[in-house]
Chains A and B, each alone.
Chain A
Amino acid sequence: MRRLLFELSFLKALFVVNLSSAMEYRASFITQIVGMLINNGIYFVFWLLFFDRFGSVRGYQIDDIYLLFAIVTLGFGLAFLFAGNAGANLAYLVAQGRLDYYLVFPRPLLPHVIFSRMIVSTMGDIVFGFVAFLFTGRFHPIEILFFLLSSVLVALLLTAFGVIAGSLAFFMGNAQYASQQITNSLLTFSMYPNVLFSGLARTLLYTLIPAAFVGAIPVQIVQGRDGVLLLGLAGFVLLLWLIATAVFSLGLRRYESGSAININV
């Protein structure tokens, strides 16, 4: 327990350093956050226009989209605000031999690597997530609690998936684009109503590209106030983290140190 608290305080220190570093460039910091708010806002406008024109599609309505956006953007924001090196950045670090820098520190490697970077624009996603939730009109304490818990689980899921995608670089070499495409696929699929997909595509969304666990299932949890499904989601996240840790550890055995001289700023 003491060890865990110690590691958590280390991660907190990393977060504070990342935040101070990002805020040093104040104009860029604000621009990125506002930019992300606009980015998400445009998708929101699209769905507003879409449902205004077509009513509902296979039972999916604008209210479902509000909740879907709230959970996915908050989850994504939390994941990459803290663990900005998960995904394509991890693949880049591995391919460039930049893990050397982290290997010499007496800290657990995986959390140290992925928590060493903050993607500033994700603060815009977090703000957007809360704003989108206000549109849902779901203010029952249980719904708010389930919304927050689901979003945290989604964040953990996205981070674990990012670790798996980034670890591909251990096996493939330059896997930056591949991991970026895989992570983008997960996110893109999760932002669309899953009722659109059937057959093999639907099976994929519950397995290889687990977008259903990022979007559709959390929406169901909040709408149905379904505690059992919430536990199921937590179980899936745990399983994915076990896989992520195993893939990273296996990959690390194949890691070859880079000869380039790198300076981490």
Chain B
Amino acid sequence: MLTQLRLTTTKYGAITLTNLQNQLAYIWDALGRAVFIILIMFIFVQLWTAVYQSQNTTEIAGLTLANTIWYFLIAEVMELGKIRHDTRITEEVRDGSIAYTLVRPYNYLAYHFFNGLAEGGVKMVLIFALGLPLVLYYAGSPTLTWAHLPLVLLVMGLAVLLDFFVLSIIGLLAFVTEDTFSFRLIYQKLVFILGGLMIPLDFLPDWLQGTARVLPFNLTTYAPAKLFVAFEWFQFRQIVGLQLLWLFIFGAVLLWQYRVMTQRLAINGG
């Protein structure tokens, strides 16, 4: 049992490490792609500074301007660092190469997760590092205490896993629909508004806020960003509870879908 666990850990650890080496070999390329965050953050800073000035207030829904600026940096880190494996699954289904990857001695979805962790991790670090100077200049240091940091990191980890489940479901839909572009786009855009990427949920009107808080979209982006800037034990417990609930629901759907879809797989020729 323990030997099996050690072997499994070594195998998936090696997958992550190999892709990490790949990512680091092309670090300048990744840096070039991530540099856009500076522009995004600059625009957000200008926009929200203007909002706080025009409202003539230091706090909106419990968030100061500095909180809001930090919120957007963390929300962008979560969004831009996501594992984008769904497009790869779609491509593999469309070109038939999934027939070769499925017979390899690893779990197909676990491979994508551990492979994507390296890429996502590098992107998250780069985006944070590039956005940090601007945020420090306009908002100063974050208010998060060291004691709360591991708890926020836990929520971030669950957020990455939850997003992975949703994108896996979207990717596997290629078995039925062949093209998954529109599903991905709709999910992404729901995260923009109901996930709090463009506007914190606290700023939404009450009728929309209540719905948005129980839906899974906010748990991938808003939740870690909000806890980072204004940690509250009650909200932390609520968020982790909802994350686990949605992980269970999407996990069950994903397992069922994976079994059904792979049974539908038809391989012609060699």
Considering the complex, which residues of chain A in the window 44-65 have a beta carbon less than 8 Å from any beta carbon of chain B? 45-46, 49-50, 52-58
Residue in B32, B39, B54, B198 whose CB lies within 8 Å of A56: B54
**Contact assessment for B193 and A45 in the assembled complex, using a CB-CB cutoff below 8 Å:** yes
A161 vs chain B, min Cβ distance (A): 16
Closest-by-CB residue of B relative to A34 is: B182
Is there a chain B Cβ closer than 8 Å to A28's Cβ?
yes
Is there a chain A Cβ closer than 8 Å to B145's Cβ?
no
Is there a chain B Cβ closer than 8 Å to A177's Cβ?
yes
Is there a chain A Cβ closer than 8 Å to B47's Cβ?
yes
Q: A46-B198, A49-B205 are in contact. Are A192 and B47 (CB under 8 A)?
A: yes
**Contact assessment for B205 and A189 in the assembled complex, using a CB-CB cutoff below 8 Å:** no
A39 to B190, CA, bound (A): 10
Chain B residues with CB under 8 Å of A223's CB are none
Question: In the complex, which of the residues A42, A46, A201 has the most CB atoms of chain B within 10 Å of its own CB atom?
Answer: A42
A 63-107 to B, binary, CB cutoff 8 A, 1 in contact else 0: 000000000000000000000000000000000000000000000
A51 to B28, CA, bound (A): 39
**Contact assessment for B179 and A28 in the assembled complex, using a CB-CB cutoff below 8 Å:** yes
Chain A residues with CB under 8 Å of B33's CB are 177
Interface size band for A: 20 to 34
Chain B residues with CB under 8 Å of A188's CB are 39-40, 43
Is there a chain B Cβ closer than 8 Å to A35's Cβ?
yes
Chain A residues with CB under 8 Å of B51's CB are 54, 57
Chain B residues with CB under 8 Å of A201's CB are 42, 46
Interface of A, secondary structure class, is: helix
**Contact assessment for B185 and A197 in the assembled complex, using a CB-CB cutoff below 8 Å:** no
B 17-38 to A, binary, CB cutoff 8 A, 1 in contact else 0: 0000000000001001101100
B 157-195 to A, binary, CB cutoff 8 A, 1 in contact else 0: 000000000000000000000010110011001001100
A28 to B36, CA, bound (A): 29
A82 to B266, CA, bound (A): 40
Is there a chain A Cβ closer than 8 Å to B108's Cβ?
no
A146 to B42, CA, bound (A): 32
Which of A162-170, A178-186, A228-236, A250-258 sits within the interface?
A178-186
A32 to B182, CA, bound (A): 7
Question: In the complex, which of the residues A32, A52, A53, A185 has the most CB atoms of chain B within 10 Å of its own CB atom?
Answer: A53
Closest-by-CB residue of A relative to B178 is: A27
Chain A residues with CB under 8 Å of B47's CB are 57, 192, 196
Is there a chain B Cβ closer than 8 Å to A144's Cβ?
no
**Contact assessment for B46 and A38 in the assembled complex, using a CB-CB cutoff below 8 Å:** no
Nearest 4 Cβ contacts at the A-B interface? A42-B189, A196-B46, A35-B185, A46-B198
| Interface residue ranges, A against B (CB under 8 Å) | 27-28, 31-32, 34-35, 38-39, 42, 45-46, 49-50, 52-58, 177-178, 181, 184-185, 188-189, 192, 195-197, 201
